[in-house]
Amino acid sequence: MAVKAMDLFDAYRQDQLPRDEGYIVSSFFNSNSAYSIYEIVSYSGVKSIYLNDAGLTFQTNGKKIHILIEPASYPNKAIEPYVRSNTEQIPLRFNELEQITAKNLSKIMIAKEPIISFSSFTILKPSGVNFALVFYNRPDLFVTLQQFFEKTFNREAGIPQADAKKSAKRVVEILETTMNFRGEYS
């Protein structure tokens, strides 16, 4: 059976990073709460990939979607995500995010549109429980991504199972619509 996903930095060391098309999912978990940030990057046609002190830099265009999960107890709910502290920040306003309120009153916020990165982007080296995974563009890619997000939203971010499933489905719908490899990538 072919590999569906792999740790990004292991894939780089083993020369198994896809250069034609791929998806990278990075996480940034708060060590004191269920506050979580996910970044999903789709890329195609890589010119070069190199390791630096910060992480892996890809010389190519990319599209990035942010997901933010706020626990019900989060004290700064009224502050726009783009002006929060560095560790809690994503470059978006509330009106640029779809918001789903879970049964436990956590909020799952998903970017409506990707941010386009021209010429290069860097994926930061994960630390602690954070991760960076590369997902290979296979026929079951979106099913794999949906299952992955459903599990991690539930287990890592504390979202109730039914809400994790609903939110993961919505993430994949946005990815399929805005970050597939048809159109400008083909």
d(CA 146, CA 179): 14
pLDDT of residue 41: 94
Predicted confidence (pLDDT) at residue 185 exceeds the cutoff of 50 = no
Structure tokens at 162: 């039914």
Considering only residues 161 and 117, tell me which one the structure prediction assigns the higher pLDDT: 161
Residue-wise pLDDT for 7-18, tens only, equals 999 999 999 998
Within-domain flag for 108: yes
Within-domain flag for 110: yes
Within-domain flag for 160: yes
Mean pLDDT along residues 168-172: 97
Within-domain flag for 138: yes
Per the listing, tokens 């048809």 go with 182
pLDDT of residue 120: 87
Write out the residue range of the structural domain in which residue 47 sits: 5-181
Within-domain flag for 186: no
Strand partners, 97: 111
**CB atoms < 10 A from the CB of 116, how many?**
11
pLDDT of residue 181: 63
pLDDT bin (cut points 50, 70, 90) of residue 186 is very low
Within-domain flag for 131: yes
- How many domains does the structure of the chain reveal? 1
Residue-wise pLDDT for 68-119, tens only, equals 999 999 999 999 999 999 989 999 999 999 999 999 999 999 999 999 988 8
Within-domain flag for 133: yes
Cα distances (angstroms) measured from residue 100 to each of 69, 78, 181: 10, 16, 27
Mean pLDDT along residues 115-131: 89
